[in-house]
Amino acid sequence: HWFSFSSKIKQIISIIPIIKKKSKLLSEGLHWPLHKIEWLHPGRGISNYAVSDTVRIKVKKGRVMIIIPYERL
């Protein structure tokens, strides 16, 4: 299941794992793809930025919190 949302180009999006299991994700519309990243520690995330007006993220393994700053689009 993909999580899709509208975004402005260059909008910062942060992703933080929230459980003590490996997290693995797929993404579309972000500058740095997430498919090669595996998080092992909760609480240590990354920030990325949108390169499209639509961003899609799929959590293949684990659980993450996705932070999207509120801005009027």
19 pLDDT more than 70 = yes
20 pLDDT more than 90 = no
Alpha-carbon distance 38 to 7, whole Å?
Answer: 24
Alpha-carbon distance 73 to 71, whole Å?
Answer: 6
What are 21-42's pLDDT values in tens digits?
888 899 999 999 988 888 777 7
73 pLDDT more than 80 = no
pLDDT at 71: 67
Q: Which residue has the higher pLDDT, 41 or 16?
A: 16
pLDDT-derived band at 56, boundaries 50, 70, 90: very high
- Provide the b/e sequence for 25-64 (b: ≥16 CB within 10 Å): bebebbeeebeeeebeebeebeebbbeeeebebebeebeb
The whole-number average pLDDT for the span 16-24 is: 87
